[in-house]
């Protein structure tokens, strides 16, 4: 796995989502996705692949409501597997369990798409070598082509048990209300670069990755934010190299009028569409 999710690059570290029934959600994320429980309370579970690093937090608010349609928020979070062989094993697992999924070849990566029982979107993918990515004019070529599943299955005959310990939160893709305001916030505020544009979407990254954050208006320009107790995104983290790098970003955010609050162990900010971000080091 290449170094697009290590310091000094800024990357997505953890995602928190609401679910309708915590115990049912845990069962799905263990048996279908292959995550492990790191910590659990009555209404919250922190999931991991390596037994120490949180990747996904599930929460069940006391007054939780089903996922709302046509809002901003989570489109999907994406789990990056260490190798193509790992993706091959995961594909065979999905076929054996008969859990519904989609698939695509994005040129830079190969991806499988799943929706959890509450409607939260999940991508599980592996990257092609960055030396094979095609760049022109500062943008990386990406597409949505059919995945050659037979070729992928031939990559490995290994048996599935759980996600590999080296699995990372590769990227997050969000519904937003306005691309112009979104671009200002993520570029001028958070310091990301736009690496691809098409069809009402921006793909952004740091350090030359194909994208750490995708942003789209596919739920409609001006879409409202979901209710706080709705199934969907609670927050996600951006990991900065050090305090100096994070302080620079908080200054940039305040410079464009964003409100940054200091919490215990992190700074919090909300993008123009209501998506909450935790800035950590």
Using CA atoms, how far apart are residues 111 and 106, in angstroms rounded to an integer? 7
Beta bridge partners of 112: 103, 124
Return the pLDDT at 67: 96
Q: Which of 123, 85, 89, 117 is nearest to 104 (CA)?
A: 123
CA atoms within 13 A on the CB side of 140: 24
| pLDDT block averages, 10 residues each, the chain of length 281 | 93 98 98 98 97 97 96 98 98 98 98 98 98 97 96 97 97 98 97 94 97 98 97 98 96 97 96 98 95
Using CA atoms, how far apart are residues 249 and 252, in angstroms rounded to an integer? 5
Return the pLDDT at 126: 98
Using CA atoms, how far apart are residues 249 and 243, in angstroms rounded to an integer? 10
Return the pLDDT at 199: 87
Beta bridge partners of 17: 58, 233
Cβ atoms of 71 and 173 within 8 Å: the answer is no
3-state secondary structure the chain: CCCCCCCCCCEEEEEEEECCCHHHHHHHHHHHHCCEEEEECCCEEEEECCCCCEEEEEECCCCCECCCCCCCEEEEEEEECCCHHHHHHHHHHHHHHCCCCEEEECCCEEEEEEECCCCCEEEEEEECCHHHCCEECCEECCCCECCCHHHHHCCCCCCCCCCCCCCEEEEEEEECCCHHHHHHHHHHHCCCEEEEEECCEEEEECCCCCCCEEEECCCCCCCCCCCCCECEEEEEEEECCCHHHHHHHHHHHHHCCCCCEEECCEEEEECCCCCEEEEEC
Return the pLDDT at 1: 72
Rounded to the nearest 10°, the torsion over CA 153, 154, 159, 165 is: -80
Cβ atoms of 169 and 79 within 8 Å: the answer is yes
Return the pLDDT at 188: 97
Return the pLDDT at 56: 98
């Amino acid at each position: 796995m290449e170094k697009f999710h290590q310091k000094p690059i800024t990357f997505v570290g953890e995602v928190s989502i609401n679910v309708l029934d915590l115990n049912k959600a845990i069962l799905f994320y263990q048996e279908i996705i292959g995550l492990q429980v790191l910590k659990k309370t009555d209404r919250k579970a922190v999931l991991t692949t390596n037994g120490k690093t949180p990747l996904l937090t599930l929460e069940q608010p006391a007054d939780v409501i089903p996922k709302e349609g046509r809002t901003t928020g989570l489109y999907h979070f994406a789990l990056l597997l260490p190798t193509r062989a790992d993706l091959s094993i995961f594909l065979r697992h999905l076929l054996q369990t008969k859990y519904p999924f989609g698939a695509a070849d994005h040129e830079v990566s190969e991806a499988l798409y799943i929706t959890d029982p509450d409607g939260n979107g999940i991508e599980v993918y592996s990257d092609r070598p960055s030396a094979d990515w095609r760049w022109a004019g500062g943008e990386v070529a990406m597409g949505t082509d059919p995945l050659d599943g037979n070729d992928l299955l031939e990559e490995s005959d290994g048996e599935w048990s759980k996600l590999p310990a080296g699995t990372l939160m590769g990227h997050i893709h969000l519904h937003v209300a306005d691309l112009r305001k979104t671009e200002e916030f993520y570029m001028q505020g958070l310091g990301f670069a736009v690496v691809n544009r098409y069809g009402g979407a921006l793909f952004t990254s740091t350090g030359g990755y194909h994208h750490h954050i995708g942003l789209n208006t596919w739920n409609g320009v001006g879409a409202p934010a979901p209710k706080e107790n709705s199934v969907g995104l609670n927050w996600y983290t951006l990991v900065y190299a050090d305090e100096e790098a994070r302080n620079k970003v908080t200054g940039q955010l305040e410079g464009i009028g964003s409100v940054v609050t200091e919490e215990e162990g992190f700074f919090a900010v909300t993008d123009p569409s209501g998506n909450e971000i935790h800035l950590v080091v």
